[in-house]
Structures are given as C-alpha cells and as structure tokens.
Chains A and B, each alone.
Chain A
C-alpha cells in the first residue's frame, strides 16, 4: 500500500469511527458530564455516593427545598408545613404535579414512600437519612402527617435533602432494582436511558411544576462514567465532554490558563481535623494527649493558613470549629481559636512535662500531602510522628477500637446543613468519640433533641466552646472542589458539592 493510500484509508476509518461517537455541544443541546465513580443503584435510597445525590436532585423532588444560596426553606412538593406536636409534622401537598410516567402525585405517594424507607428491613443504605421517621398517614388527598420516632429538629433539613418522593404504584411494582434501571420521579429531568456502569441520559421534564429548583434549561444531559481524571481532561479537550468536577487543584490551575474552559471553585462541607486520644483509650503510655496543654500545643503548632494557601487553595478556609461554619448551630464565635505560634506550642509542651517533646503514631487515610505537612509542623515543635497511611476502612476500624493516639481525619456531614450532622456524630460517647466528655454530651443531647432553635443554638455553642477550650480536636480547614467546563456552559457551583443540572444554561 502506498503512503497516500494508507493515509486516506486511515482518514476514512477515522470518519466512520467519529460518526458513531456522540459529539456533545450546544448545537445538539446535549451536555456531557463525567462521573468518576459508578453508582451501585440509581435509586437514591440505595446508594451513598455524591454522584447519587446529583442524580437524586435532578430526577426526584423532596417535600421541602432549601435554597443553597440563602439556606432558606421553601415548599417544593409540599406547599406548607406545621408542627402539630414535637413528633408530628403536617404538610399540605402541591396539587397538579405528575410523575414522569404520568402518575398523579398525591398523599398516597408520600405515605407509601415514607413507610417504605422508614422500615429498617427494606434496607435503605444510609439509615440515618430516614430512621428518624416512624411512619406517615394520609389526612386527605393533599394533606399528610409524618410521625417521628422521637423529637428531631433537623427533620426539615432532611426533608429538603435526602428524602425524596417516589410514585407509590410504580415503586410497589418494580422495587429498588427496577427503580434503579428505570427511575421515575417528579424532578426537573427524566431518565431516558440507563446503561449500568456506563452512562445515563437525562432529558428535560417539559411539564416540570413551578418548583423553587427552577426550570431546566438544557435539553439533554449525558452522564458517562470515566474513572481516570486524565482521561476526563482528554475528553474535555477533544470535545466529547462538557463538564467535569472534583478536578485536582494542579490540573485545574493549568486548565484555568487555557482558552475555551471555565474553572469554578467552591468550598465543600468537608472539614479536615486532627483527633487526639484525650480519653486515653489507646495503648500509648504515658499518653501525652490526656493533657489539655499538649492538645493546645498541637493546635498552636500548625500553620493552617499556610496549608490552605499552598496546598488546598481555592475557596478553602481555616476552620476553628468541630463543624462546618455554615451549619445551623455551628457557633464560630463561641469557639476558642488557636493562632499559629510554635514558640507557645513548645512552652505548653514544656509546662506539660515534655520539654523535649515526645513521639507518637500519626494516622491518615487520605490526602497524604496534607498529612505530611501537618506532621512536619508537629515535628518542628518536638512532637515526633511515626506516620502511617492506611486504607479508610483499616483506619476506621482502629478509630472505633480507640487504638489511635493521633489521626488526620475528615468529615463531609453528608451535605446536611446542621451541626448535628458533624459535632454530634463524634462527641456523644459513640465508638468514634476520642474525648468522651460528659459535659459536651449533655449539651449535645439537649441541642439535638430540642425543637426550639434558640435552645439548640445555645447548647451547640456551649458544646463547641467546651470542645475547643479543651482542644479535644485540632480543626484544620474546609475542602474545596474544582469544576471545569467549556466556556459556552454557564454554571455557578454551590457550597454543598451537588451538581445542579437545572441551574446550568448555554451561554
């Protein structure tokens, strides 16, 4: 074969090949998005990943909606709600809403959904999202009551987040596996194609009700699973992807310098922190972390601002609280703050009886570079670390057994904007509680179960003041994530790390 004949053969092959590939762009009104991870089930009650939350917000609706910008609660499938008593919430439902399969939305759907997910044996993956509900009962076609097991002030937050409404007849027939393969909701986008593990196609719901989510603008969303971030970038360059997210900072910086792409950065609710064995559960003996001065020294030893500026970058901030600042009850003004002051750290260590410092094991499960930077700050004041990087599951196992003197951990609060989703998970004498402080637990118990916002605020503030004063943790920083998309896409990401297709438009 001559060279020119070969060239033309290749060209023909390339043409026939590209004819089969979908070219994502504004002209075809199709936005192509990459997910890094594969969803175990599109049914939002049966997966626990962020990708699952993204799908949930697009395909289904909750009774209530929280505006991600103002944190104000608005009616979505419900138009109003009132507390009958501490454990009974009555909701008036929106009329005239239809599911994607044509089924009418009414009280029967709410009753069926709540009763199904609240039952533990039905196996909803994240039990915490639903196990505060006991059942639901119908008052009339458009009025329902949700009965709670116990007082649960974060109910409204959960109803505006992970609890979405399913069509009763359809769900009874197909169950979670059928819902996963052919999802049906009331949301702004309907699912038209599911190829498990490979891609999902969403299409604009033309009959979407007048929801506070807003009306969808882009006609089609094609979501593909592409595990490797470099491959995602290559797809973006070659025009077969329009939007990727969770892009590492170094890659995002390079993309920001190129024409044709927009890089947006937004903080997430994930907080990084050091947990110290204040209760003395580990085998370390003597255990310096039992001494408040040592814990304060750790807090003073680390230049968190430098970590944020040089490593995390973007919209990350230094965090002083054992919760994410935007969360309800996360009283930043009640927290005792510790400036970067290595001399003071050394002095505190000397006062505690460790003028030459000490050695400790130091564990982490992610972000090795952050953990190593923290270790070097600790070394600088005399705390020598034996650094161990473990798999998440292995470290969690050790944490629960209380065998870890010092670890760098993170918590994402599953995007629940309430302090109970973070501080109460760790300081109420559960297996992950390294402090085991009775006073903190007492305040958190009150704050978690009161329905009076002022009482809740007051007791969270007290707990936070005690936790930070005693320096049980060394809170570090919040995380951020990068979104990279083609310049003809207009999108402003929100702080809860949920992609909202409804808020995306073509420029």
Chain B
C-alpha cells in the first residue's frame, strides 16, 4: 500500500510541475504583459518603463525559475494589479470557492446517487427515463444559460432567492445548483451502471435468498460495491469544480478564486494567474491522488495495478 501511495505521489508531483511550466509559457503568448499592465490609457513610454520595472525584458526561463523558487517557499509575489501579496489575495477568496465546491458536490451526490439507484432498480421505467433525460440535459445546458434561467425564475419572477452576491446562505442556493448540476449526470450514470452490474451478481442473489429486505440489499450490499468508482469520480469532479467555477462565480457575482482567475487573465496579472493555475492544478492533482488512495483502500484489487 505504501509503495502504491509513493508511486502515485511521485506521478502527481511530476504532473504538477509540468502543468506549472506549460501554463507559465502559455501566458507569454497572450500578448505583451507590460502593455496589459499599463492599461489602455498608457503611452508607449509608460509601457517601456513598466517593462523594465517588472523585469519583462529578461529571458522567460529566468523569470520562470525565479517564480518557482519563491513559490516553493509559499511566496507567489505581488499582484501587479492589486499591489498585494498574491498568497493573501487568493487565501481571501478561496473560502468562497471551497464552500461553493463542497455545496456543489454535495448537491450532486445527494441527488445523483439516489436517482442512479432508483434508475437501476427499475431499468427502462419512467424513473429511469426521467433520470436519463436529466443527465442528457445536464450535459447539454451551458452553465451561464442555466444560471440565467434560474435567476429569471427564482429571483425575478418568484422572488424567492437573491440574484447575486454572498451576503446570506440563500445567495449560494442557485450557484450550488448550477455548479452541482454539471457533475450530476456523470455520477448518476455511473451509479446506475455500477448498480446494474452488481445487482446481477451472485452475492446479491444470495443476500436476497437469505431473506434480506430489498432496501437492505440495495444500500447495504449493492451500493457499497457500486459506489467505489463513484467516489473517485466525485473526487475528480470536486477538483473540476474548484477550478471550474469561473463562469458560475461571474454570473452570481461571487468573489471567489474562480472569478479572480478570470479577471486576472483579462488584465494579464501574471503572478496571480500563475499562482491560481498552480493552486487549481494542485487541487485537481490532490483530489485525483486521494481518489486513487481511497479506491485502493476500499478495493484491494486496485493496489496491484
């Protein structure tokens, strides 16, 4: 088990390093950072002064090396835009994104798993059809559109929920649904498929034969096995949500890390973007790693692979 964990850990670090380097290089293709930093009102002379001040005239590899060395010490530099340490800037916003991510994945699991189980219990029934419809719709609806539809219905027509902001828990209801809905279909389909497979296996027949109730068979015997792949999928989806809530955060004016990423990209705030990309990819890598370990722990067969 330890060997498995170490192997996975090494792989994860390698991925993290590669991601950071690729994203660092890509940013330089997006235009002159000095011009972006100086803003639309800057003259040519202003831009030149900024280029020298921030060291954009140095070779890219040197800039990357500098950045990585300080990043390993937890120092991501100072945001060009806010003139504040990037680390504290991100720490301030991460709580909103984390809260949203946890709410989103909980919503997805709490709705998708029961739906998946129900669909598996009665394949091709009306419930299964509805579940299938929901999953197709979930995959097809762009989140900005779905978000606006929710706003129109629940905030403008019914006035049950506030449109945007983070003042109360009610502000998180619609963003949670929009973010979680995106992860629902995959979780539901996987639960359904896993349940169908498990339900036809011998030990379920044995469990039924010894007179266990259907509910006990479903949740105690079948779901426990069927849920293993769902756990790893949910962990991966959680990683997605933390990095992928950019659109949701912008629509609902939640000032989290995703919104900060979007804004920072548009104003070429390199230190912030680089730190965010590293943090988002670390989330993704950590959650994938945890999913692997969790899987191996739940299912000893996985350890050898």
> Which positions in A face B, CB cutoff 8 Å?
10-11, 13-14, 16-18, 20-22, 37-38, 40-41, 46, 48-49, 126-128, 176-177, 196-198, 224-228, 230-231, 234-235, 237-238, 240, 390-397, 400, 412, 414, 425, 430-432
Contact = CB atoms under 8 A, between A and B. Distances in A.
A53 B35 CA distance: 21
A40 B83 CA distance: 8
B151 A391 contact: no
Contacts of B158: 14
A393 B33 contact: yes
Contacts of A425: 43
Contact of B151 (A16, A46, A231): A231
Nearest to A123: B83
Nearest to B256: A197
A430 B43 contact: yes
B31 A228 contact: no
Interface string B27-63: 0001111111001110111111100000000000000
B250 A392 contact: no
Interface in B136-167: 148, 151-152, 155-156, 158-167
Contacts of A396: 31-32, 35, 47
A17 B161 contact: yes
B168 A397 contact: no
B268 interface: yes
B83 A41 contact: yes
A11 B83 CA distance: 45
14 contacts: A10-B160, A17-B168, A17-B169, A17-B170, A21-B168, A37-B263, A234-B155, A238-B155, A390-B31, A392-B35, A392-B40, A393-B31, A396-B35, A431-B45
Contacts of B148: 230, 234
A234 B31 contact: no
A228 B83 contact: no
List the 3 closest A-B pairs by CB distance, nearest first. Answer: A17-B170, A394-B31, A431-B44
B81 interface: yes
A177 B33 contact: no
Given A231-B252, A394-B30, A394-B32, A430 B44 contact: yes
Contact of B152 (A46, A234, A400): A234
Contact of A391 (B31, B41, B49, B155): B31
Given A49-B39, A226-B253, 5 more contacts: A177-B83, A225-B253, A235-B164, A238-B163, A397-B31
A397 B35 contact: yes
Contacts of A430: 43-45
Residue among A20, A41, A396, A431 facing the most chain B CB atoms (10 A cut-off): A396
Contacts of B34: 393
A228 B36 contact: no
A493 to B, nearest CB: 21
B259 interface: yes
A224 B164 CA distance: 10
A237 B156 contact: yes
Interface of B: 30-36, 39-41, 43-49, 81-84, 92-93, 148, 151-152, 155-156, 158-171, 173, 250-253, 255, 259, 263, 268
B165 to A, nearest CB: 7
Nearest to B32: A397
Given A46-B83, A391-B30, A234 B163 contact: yes
Contacts of A431: 44-45, 48
Contacts of B33: 393
A104 B150 CA distance: 52
Contacts of A230: 148, 151, 251
A406 B172 CA distance: 48
A430 B45 CA distance: 8
B162 A240 contact: yes
A40 B81 contact: yes
Given A231-B251, A412-B40, A226 B168 contact: no
A227 B41 contact: no
A6 B49 CA distance: 63
A232 B115 CA distance: 35
B288 to A, nearest CB: 30
Among B31, B148, B156, B259, the most chain A Cβ lie within 10 Å of the Cβ of B31
A37 B266 CA distance: 11
A128 B93 CA distance: 33
A41 B43 CA distance: 22
Find the residue from B164, B166, B168 having the highest chain A CB count within 10 A.
Answer: B164
B249 to A, nearest CB: 9
A43 to B, nearest CB: 10
B250 A17 contact: no
A225 B255 contact: yes
A432 B40 CA distance: 13
Contacts of A41: 82-83
B39 to A, nearest CB: 5
A414 B41 contact: yes
Contacts of A46: 83
A126 B83 CA distance: 15
A234 B156 contact: yes
B156 A238 contact: yes
A226 B32 CA distance: 28
A127 B251 contact: no
Contact of B162 (A10, A17, A198): A17
Contacts of A177: 83-84
Nearest to B82: A40
B295 to A, nearest CB: 36
B44 A18 contact: no
Nearest to A366: B40
A231 B163 contact: yes
A247 to B, nearest CB: 16
A271 B39 CA distance: 17
Contacts of B159: 14, 18, 238
Contacts of B30: 391, 393-394
A20 B253 contact: no
B35 A224 contact: no
A18 B162 contact: yes
